[in-house]
Each structure stands twice: as structure tokens, then as C-alpha cells.
Amino acid sequence: SEMLAQSLQDEVRSEMLAQSLRDEVKSEMLAQSLQDEVRSEMLAQSLRDEVKSEMLAQSLQAEVKSEMLAQSLQVLEAYPELQPWFTAEQARARGAVPIVPLPG
């Protein structure tokens, strides 16, 4: 009877220990899952920030080009004699080989 009681106590202790280990494993798996989710969210946020930054850069480039074009047009209005040179520069910027007439 004493041995049976001891055996039952050992079995109960063993089952409690097993349950405790299972709970710990579940807890560790949950913690790992949450860490992965946080990493994933941080990566997503980083990518969103990068996209916003790239969009802002493109917007600023477009604004600069627009400002440069406006200034070029003001210069051409003030100095119409620069038109042939300006046209040749535009062609060169596009990769064309401009044909510039020889003076005289």
C-alpha cells in the first residue's frame, strides 16, 4: 500500500512536470511567433518608409525639373537669339547628335 501510494505520487509529480514543460514549450513558441510578427511588422514599416522616401525624392526631382524648365523659358523669352543653341542642347541631352550650322 505504501509502495502504491509512493508510485502514484511519483506518477502525479511526473505528469505535473510534463505538463509544466509542455506549457513552457507553448509559451516559448508563442514568444517566438510574436518576435517573428514584430520583425515582420518592422520590416514592413521600413519598406513603407523607403517607398515614401523614394516618392518624395521623385517628387522633388520633378519639381526641380519643372523649375529649371520655367527658368529656361524665361531666359529664351528674354534672349530669343539663344533658341538655336537651346534646341541643340535639348537634342544632345536626348542623345541626338545635333547639326549646328557653321557661322557665316
pTM: 0.48
Task: Pick left, alpha or beta for residue 101 (phi over 0 → left; psi -120 to 50 → alpha; otherwise beta).
Answer: beta
Q: 3-class SS at 27?
A: helix
pLDDT in tens, 62-103: 999 999 989 988 888 888 888 888 777 777 777 766 566 677
Helix extents (H) in the chain: 2-78, 83-93
Tell me what pLDDT residue 79 has.
86
- 83 and 76 Cβ atoms separated by less than 8 Å: yes
Give the three cell numbers for residue 84: 538655336
Mean per-residue pLDDT for 20-31?
Answer: 96
What integer best gives the mean pLDDT of the chain? 89
Mean per-residue pLDDT for 33-56?
Answer: 96
Residue 98: Cβ within 10 Å count? 14
